[in-house]
Structure 1
Amino acid sequence: MASNAASNSTSIVYISYLYLTEFTWTANILIPTWPAMIVFGFAANITNIIVFLRIGVNDNVTILLLSLSISDLMYLTLMTPTVCSYIMLIFAPYWPWPTHVDIGIELLYWPAITCYDFSAFLSVWLGVTRCACVAMPLQFKSVFTKGRTIKLVLASFLLAVSLRMPIMTVNRVGWRTDHGTNISYAYVEKQNRKAMTQINDILNRNSILYINFIIMIACVSILSFKLYQASRIRKSYTSAFTTQQTSEKSDRQGLSAKDLHVIRSVVLVGSIFIMSQAPFLISSTARLISDNFDIDHANRNRLLFFTFSIVSLTCSYLIASVNIFVYYIYNSKYKSELSSMLKRFKKPKTEA
């Protein structure tokens, strides 16, 4: 067992941040919701993976959605130690930690964020592929083939890992000895933190973040316009032609009813992505403008940094958990397969 004095002193430092007046509302309101989000996210993404596998991974959209569910599940799994540590710091600040508190908070944080980046890339590619489907429907199948989509997913994962590799080399497990008890305990040893943080800021917190955000806004705007345009076309032809003729006209426009359904789901997923990224984008912009907007500076900016960090993390847990509702509403195959699974699950109980 590690030294309680060392663990408790670190806990008190974190608690002093958490319970400052400007940070109380985020600590007391948002952080207690994290366990429920994590548990629901586990159940939702496992369900998504099972349903997509049962449907069959036969097209590029299903490949991307399956990969997104796997990535979100990995993210939530790796973030669980951080969530548990924050919860313990709030509700049991003097709990005797078996290791240094940083082990739970920081050790798996950057690998988890790498999975979150991977999910962001997949969400962006979903928007791009749907835009391509609208812009060039005839060439779409030949360009975005199943094989190329799989390669794209693998390349996106390698890109996410490569971009976060500098910052992931900072945290290492080291050992300290409490001279009072002569007991050794594990802690997070930081190496080259300042240099690697600057590289991470340039690559991920600014460049890649802005690129993803701008691309997703453009995709959502284009797809939303196409939905509005298709809605006007259908309304105008409904008043003059039969339902069959309206459907034929829709096909000639390159947007079938199935296409519109998929586009609506991507627009919703993209909109959720944009809203969830906004707090982190604001935080990154502020950090770019002011070097004092960080955890290491003892000033009022540190309080705002903690607030935006907690809000951003809450949004990330939310976006990794709520896609199941989008799939159920807008994906007919998903809804049919999930309903069938639930019926089979309930059937033995009914017979009993």
Structure 2
Amino acid sequence: MYKHYGAIILIVNLKLISRIVASAEQSSHALDIQLASPTIYTKFDPYVSQANKASDDLDVPKTNLMGTNSSGTTEFRSTSSTLMQASGTAQFFDTNTGKWLYWSLSFMVIPVIFTICIFFHIINILVFLTMGLRDGASVIFLGLSISDMLYCSFSLINRILRSLASILGQHPYLRLPHLAHIIIQYYRVFFDISILITTFAGVQKCACVAIPLTFRKFFTFRKSVWTIILIYVCTLLYYLPHMTNTYLGIRLDPQFNRTRLMLRSINFELAGVLFEVSKAVNRIFIPFVAEIILIVCVAIMTYKLRQSATIRHSMTSTAIQVDKSVREEKEENIDIAPGSKLNIRELKVIQSVNMI
């Protein structure tokens, strides 16, 4: 069992890295939408690419990822520096070093991380299917592996499209940043699903430690299956208005004066409302509530494990009658007095449970 700890820790670290990258992807979501638009507004408009507005209404011309500087040479412009230039702010990413650092992280390092995560998630799925879904824990971890794999897959596709857009520029018939915006909606679905499943898994493990006698009555195999299905269905229904309100359609690109396959919106006002609701629910409410729940679960599990270890110590001290030499050996590993420190083995158990 212990020989698999290295692989488990590696998978956990890759999951953590993918979640950190996910937070960065969520933060840059609005910026990606701006880059997908025909121009950049001086005032931030989250759904500018979805508005079927004429170019005369726009104030600031678009700055492409690949642009020409004052000397006439072509240089790379990162998404962050593009927004900073529009606001007149000089930052690190305005320098050539910052631009190429952003390029390396966004289009080289992060895609490699996502690819590795997809590979390990596929292994997890195959392992769970091979072992068989015999209890609620296996169902939860299978659902979590599927959602994480789909999130990493859509995120990798989004990164590839953004890389191609920065290389090919604005000439292709299909606006690649607009297609990337469609992909963004899908990976956000599975990102939220992973958050909800992780929270449910934390509550389940906390109940297993806190109320072990009644645990099986509340968290049965059937209830776990239906809970995972309900999380998937409810999240997809929540994002359904987002995904159906925007689509790729043919329209006039005023920048090149020709029709192209671009992002369109059925209802621009509804798109703005959906964005504000999504920002409040998906970026603030769900992540913070999930973190609070998991922190409380970890605290409860730690307290209950220490409490059960203390009770076991007191019962062991009254039940075991051994000679002096054996008793001295036992006392080195087990403290007789209640409230004393836990031995190394029990501390490892607590740490392992908290890590999971």
Q: Which bin holds the TM-score, normalised by the shorter protein?
A: 0.5 to 0.7
Counterpart in 2 of 1:316? Answer: none
1:71 and 1:267 map into 2 onto residues whose CA distance is 22
Distance 1:179 1:209, change over 3 A: closer
Structure 2 residue corresponding to 1:157, chosen from 232, 235, 239: 232
Tell whether 2:264 aligns with 1:189: yes
Return the alpha-carbon distance in structure 2 between the equivalents of residues 227 and 89 of structure 1. 53
Q: 1:136 aligns with which of 193, 211, 220?
A: 211
Any gaps of 5 or more consecutive residues in structure 2? 1-37, 40-61, 68-75, 85-90, 318-326, 335-344
- Secondary structure of residue in 2 paired with 1:138: coil
User: Where do 1:118-133 residues align within 5 Å?
Assistant: 118-133=193-208
Check conservation: 1:174, 1:188, Cα contact below 8 A.
yes
Aligned mates of 2:312, 2:103 — CA distance in 1: 49
What are the within-5 Å matches in structure 2 for residues 1-352 of structure 1? Answer: 10-12=64-66, 15=77, 17-19=79-81, 21-23=91-93, 24=98, 27-28=102-103, 30-31=105-106, 32-88=108-164, 92=167, 94=169, 96-177=171-252, 184-190=259-265, 191=268, 192-227=270-305, 264=351, 267-269=354-356
Q: CA RMSD in A?
A: 3.7
Aligned-pair identity (%): 23
Give the secondary-structure state (helix, strand or coil) at the position aligned to 2:118. helix
Distance 1:231 1:16 in 2: 55
Distance 1:56 1:183 in 2: 56
The residue aligned with 2:338 is: none
What secondary structure is seen at the aligned counterpart in 2 of 1:107? helix
Query: What SS does the aligned partner of 2:213 have?
Result: helix
Letter aligned with residue 212 of structure 1: A
Alignment-derived partner of residue 312 in structure 1: none
What are the superposed Cα offsets for residues 169-200 of structure 1, whole Å, 9 maximum, x if unpaired?
Answer: 44311212458988642111243332111121
- Distance in 1 of aligned mates of 2:205 and 2:146: 21
Q: SS state of the match for residue 138, structure 2? A: helix
Aligned-partner residue type, residue 153 of structure 1? I
Q: Deviation at 1:205?
A: 2.2
- 1:135 Cα shift? 1.5
TM-score w.r.t. structure 2 length? 0.59
Query: Structure 1 length as normaliser, TM-score?
Result: 0.60
- The letter of the residue matching 1:67 is G
CA contact (8 A) 1:124 1:215 kept: yes
Q: Are the aligned partners of 1:122 and 1:156 in contact in 2 as well (CA < 8 Å)? A: yes
1:10 CA drift (Å): 4.9
AA in 1 matched with 2:115: V
Higher relative contact order (CA 8 A, sep 6+): 1
Within 1, Cα distance between the matches of 2:172 and 2:355? 42
Give the Cα separation in 1 of the matches to 2:253 and 2:287: 42
Q: Higher Cα Rg: structure 1 or 2? A: 2
Provide the C-alpha distance between the structure 1 equivalents of 2:151 and 2:254, rounded to a whole number of angstroms: 38
Amino acid corresponding to residue 208 of structure 2 in structure 1: C
Query: Distance between the aligned counterparts of 1:85 and 1:15, measured in 2?
Result: 16
Asked if the contact 2:164/2:176 (under 8 Å) is kept, the reply is: no
SS at match of 1:133: helix
Separation of aligned partners in 1, 2:244 and 2:102? 29
Residue type at the aligned position of 1:15? R
